[in-house]
Structure 1
Amino acid sequence: MTTSRGIDVSAHQGPQDWAEHKRDGVTFAFAKASEGQHSKDSRFATHIAGAKAAGLVVGGYHFAWPNQSAAAEAANYIAAVKGHAGPGFVHWLDLERYSDGRNYRGRSAAQIKAWAAAWIAAVEQAFPRQRVGIYTSAADLAAGHVPSGVPLWYPAYPGNSVDTYAEAEKRAQPKPSGRSPVFWQFVGSPLDRSVCYMSATDLRLWAGAGTTTEGGKPKYEPYPGTAFFMSGKQPALGKSSPVFTAMGRRLVAVGCGRYKQGPGPKLGQADVDSYEAYQRSLGYTGADAKWPPGPTSWSKLHVPNV
C-alpha cells in the first residue's frame, strides 16, 4: 500500500531541523496547539512555521478534556491555530485518557462521544472545507467514544519490530474496531512518527493543499454524473478510471473502506460496498444508500464540510 511519512511534535520537543526532516522523506507534520479550556502549547507557532517553510503538509491538535466544556475547548483551539490554519491545514482532536482518568472522570462513553462530536462540529464551522479528525486509541474506539465517519489517526506501538518507517510500511494497515485509520502512529520515542495511507500527492489533495480554487473554495473532481458509475442498471464493474482510485482512497480516509487490497483504477465490488457504507454513514437508508454515488454525497466526500 502506498504511504507517506510524518512526525508530530509539542512543547516537549525542542527546535527541529525541518529541512533535514524533509530530506529524510517526511511529508507531513502535526503540532500540539492547545489543551483543555485555556492551555496553549508554547512551541506551536514555531513548529508550524518551520514545517510550512519546509513545504510539509501541516496541522494542529488539541488534547481533550471531555469532562469540561466542548465549546470552551474548541474556542481555545480555534484561537491557538487561527493565524496558521490556511488551505491544507489539518485539525485533530487528541482524544485519549490520562493514566489516572482525570480528563474522563464523571463522563459516560455516550457523553464522551457526544462531546467529541460537538468539538468537531465547532472546529468544522470555524474552518470550513478543512479536514477535522480524531487521534485516539484502540481502547477509546472499543469503548464507543469516536463518532462515525471521522478521519482517524491511530497510535499503536509494536515495539522493536516496528521502529522505522520502512518496517511500518511493510506491515498491514491496522484495523482497530474495524476502522481504517488514515494515519498510524507506530512509534513514540524519541520522536512520534506516523505513516499515512496515501501518497504524498494524494495526502496534499486530501488535506486541500496544492489544489486550485474556484470562488475561494478548493476545487476537486466534479461529480461525473450517474451514467459514469453505471452499465445499464448495474454498477460499471471493471471500468477503469483514476477517479475510482481517488474515490477509494478518500473512502478509506473517512473510515468507510471495504478493501482487502487497493483501491485501484478499476471499479470493483469493494468500491461499491465502500461507497454504500459511506452513504449510510451520512444517514442515507434504503435505496438512497445504494450505488451509484449522488452529487450530494460526492461533494461531501471530495470537499469536506459542504
Structure 2
Amino acid sequence: MPDLWMPGAQRLDVGNHAPTDGGPAKAIAHITWDRNATAAKPVDLVSYTNLRSYFAGGGAGVAPHILWDPFEGHFTQFVPANSRSKSLADAAGGTRTNRAGSVVLQIEALFFPYCRVGTKVYPRLVDTPCKGWAELQAWVHSWGVPNVWPMGHPADFASHRSESVWETKAGWYAHSQVPENDHQDPGSWPNFVGAPAPSTPKYEPFPGAGFFRAGRRSPVIAAMHKRLVAEGCGRYQSDANADVWGSGDERSYAAWQRKLGYVGSAADGLPGPTSWSKLHVPNV
C-alpha cells in the first residue's frame, strides 16, 4: 500500500477523517492566494509558518492534504491520503467534490501572483523554483493518480469546468476546473517530471466571454491592455491595476472593435473570438 503520509512531509494531523466515495483517482492543484498583488505593486510572500499554523488551527476546516512551499521544498500534511480533506466547495445534494474518487488529494502551493521573495517578484507559480515537485508528483502518482490533466494543463485564471469529465476521468485538476467551485487558481502548475513540455502558443487564446467581468484580475488582461495601447486604442485614465478588467478596458476594447470596422452593438467593448485573435495578445 502507498504511504498514507508523504515521506519527508511534516505531519500535523487535524483529525476529522472521512472516507472518499471511490472512483477515478484525482489530485487538485490550488494556490493559497492569501494576498492580492499586481505587477506594479508586488507584495511580500506570506510565510510558510503562518500558513501551516492557519491550517493546523483556525483553518483546519478547509485544510488540504498537503501544504507545499515551492520556494524551499517544505511540505506539511494535515490528513492522510485515504481521507477526504475539505478544501473544495461541495454543495449539498450536488456533484461530490472532496470525496469524488478513490483518493482526492488536495495540494495547496504557497503562492500568489506577483509575490515577492527577497528582491525577486514571481508572476506565476511556474516561475518559482518549484522545489520538491518531483517528490510530490511521485507520491501523488503512487496513489493511482495518472500524470494527466483531463481538462487541460492550467495556464490562466479562467474557469474551465465540465461535470461529466470530473465524474469520469482520473488525473490532476486545477481548482478552476472543479464543479460547484468559483475559484480560478492556480493559474499555472509545473510540468510533470519526465514529460515533454507542452507547446506554448505565441498568442493568448480567447479565454471565453465570461472571462471579461468587472474585477477580474489576470496577467492576460495586463497583456491585452498593452496591446490596445500599442494599437492606438487606449482609452485608459490610468495605468494602475492594469491587470484588472474595468471600464477603461471596455472603452479601449470598443475603440479596437471600431478600428476593425465593427459598429453599433458589435462594438460594445466586450471581446469576442474574432477581434481577440486579431489583437495578437502575447502569451503570458
Give me the TM-score of the superposition, normalised by structure 2.
Answer: 0.28
Higher RCO (CA 8 Å, separation ≥ 6 residues): 2
TM-score under structure 1 length normalisation: 0.26
Q: Which has the higher strand share?
A: 1
Q: Which has the larger radius of gyration?
A: 2
